[in-house]
Amino acid sequence: MDIESFFRQYWPLMALATWFGYKWWSAQRVKGQLPALKAQGAVLVDVRSPAEFAAGSAPDAMNIPLQELGQRLGEIPTNVPVVLCCASGTRSGMARLMLKKNGYANVFNIGKWTNLMS
């Protein structure tokens, strides 16, 4: 199999691997910035469901489920960094887009809520 055939056949798998790699790298970058963000007064927002949050959560994180985020924007200050988390990074990624669209400038997706614990 030549390289062109390989790419033609396996491009969906390679695209998926690239997406997961980027998601992991991005979360690790935010994890490294977390001490500085906390020093700036960052707000930690967990966008999982109340049941998921009750089963385990990071200290100091507030729970605003993704489906309620649009109605509860007033609970999140705009003048400090906002660090979002969920179970895998997908919902917090959607929440990040929503906050950016609503004028929040310093919004970070740390991915899994357990990344807040390290």
Catalytic residue positions, numbered? 86
CA dihedral 60, 66, 72, 74 (to 10 degrees): 60
**What type of residue sits at position 43?**
V
Query: b/e string for 39-69 if b means 16 or more Cβ within 10 A?
Result: eeebbbbbbbbeebbeeebbeebebbbbeeb
Under DSSP, is residue 60 helix (H, G, I), strand (E, B) or coil?
Answer: coil
Q: Are 49 and 65 contacting, i.e. CB atoms less than 8 angstroms apart?
A: yes
Torsion of CA 65, 66, 72, 78, to 10 degrees: 110
